[in-house]
């Protein structure tokens, strides 16, 4: 508002400068050694990063804009979670989130959490035993007819509870063996048990062994000499050869 008088001619210019806000996306990996290449997104813009890069992407955008931010593609073997300042109290499952650009900077963190991994390895006692075993993770056979040293390799499972175990393979009976399951920091199964359950979380890598010791017994052969009347008599020979199963 201003005063004007007769004869004056006043020209005014109103300049509108668009307000800008900053949006940043940061990447976190769990565990840290699982860090890999990734592409981050803010609206239509993307930025690719190598595993060794500092994985952070920022853009200045018009306030009032609503944009999708995060990670367009989640790497295999990971679950993604996103947390943005000013949007929600805690991280949410998913790799992207729509945010409204304001004068206060918005920072989003996308965390890739590696799914738990479980590995089962067969150990036989003695190592030359011919037994064959089907090794299982969560009730699914991941390795058929495993002998000594046979393994499922690392198997991805969901967080929560995992179960490892075994079934008899070709020409093998579990009754002929004493089993023991050992899973390191996750503990050991009961003696003789052929399955074991334990808790797993993101980032876990659990290696279990199932040891099968061959049950053995003793056969004793005693040579006795008797008369036709059934009376035992001293051996007529200084030595005699006895066989068990041809040996």
Query: pLDDT tens, 160-197?
Result: 999 999 999 999 999 999 999 999 999 999 999 999 99
Report pTM: 0.77
What tens digit of pLDDT does each residue of 72-82 get? 999 999 999 99
**C-alpha–C-alpha distance, residues 184 and 162, integer Å:** 14
| Greater pLDDT, 161 or 241 | 161
SS3 of residue 140 by DSSP: strand
Q: Which of 221, 213, 227 lies closest to 244, judged by CA? A: 221
Read off the pLDDT of each residue in 219-235 and give the average, rounded to a whole number: 78
Q: How far is CA 75 from CA 40, 168, 225, in A?
A: 12, 36, 79
DSSP single-letter state for residue 34: G
Integer Cα distance of 91 and 84 in angstroms: 8
Calpha distance 23→10 (Å, rounded): 42
CB 47 within 8 A of CB 39: yes
For 113-159, the pLDDT digits (tens) are: 999 999 999 999 999 999 999 999 999 999 999 999 999 999 999 99
Secondary structure letter of residue 161 according to DSSP: E
Q: What is the tens place of the pLDDT at every residue in 205-218?
A: 999 999 999 988 77
Helix, strand, or coil here: 33? helix
9-32: pLDDT as tens digits: 999 999 999 899 999 999 999 999
């Amino acid at each position: 508002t201003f005063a004007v008088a007769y004869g004056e001619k006043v020209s005014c210019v109103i300049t509108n400068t668009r307000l800008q806000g900053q949006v940043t996306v940061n990447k976190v990996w769990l565990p840290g050694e699982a860090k890999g290449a990734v592409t981050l997104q803010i609206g239509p813009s993307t930025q690719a990063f190598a595993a060794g890069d500092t994985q952070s992407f920022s853009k200045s955008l018009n306030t009032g804009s609503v944009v999708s931010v995060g990670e367009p593609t989640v790497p295999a073997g990971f679950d993604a979670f996103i947390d943005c300042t000013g949007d929600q109290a805690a991280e949410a499952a998913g790799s992207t989130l729509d945010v409204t650009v304001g004068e206060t900077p918005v920072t989003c963190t996308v965390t890739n959490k590696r799914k738990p991994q479980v590995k089962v390895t067969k150990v036989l006692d003695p190592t030359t035993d011919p037994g064959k075993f089907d090794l299982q993770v969560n009730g699914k056979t991941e390795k058929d007819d495993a002998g000594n040293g046979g393994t499922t390799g690392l198997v991805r499972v969901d967080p929560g509870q995992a179960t490892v175990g075994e079934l008899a393979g070709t020409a093998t009976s579990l009754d002929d063996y004493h089993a023991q399951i050992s899973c390191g920091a996750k503990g050991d199964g009961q003696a003789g048990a052929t399955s074991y359950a334990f808790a797993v979380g993101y980032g876990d890598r659990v290696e279990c062994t199932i040891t099968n010791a061959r049950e053995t017994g003793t056969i004793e052969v005693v040579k006795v000499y008797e008369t036709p009347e059934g009376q035992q008599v001293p051996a007529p020979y200084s030595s005699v050869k006895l066989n068990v199963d041809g040996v």
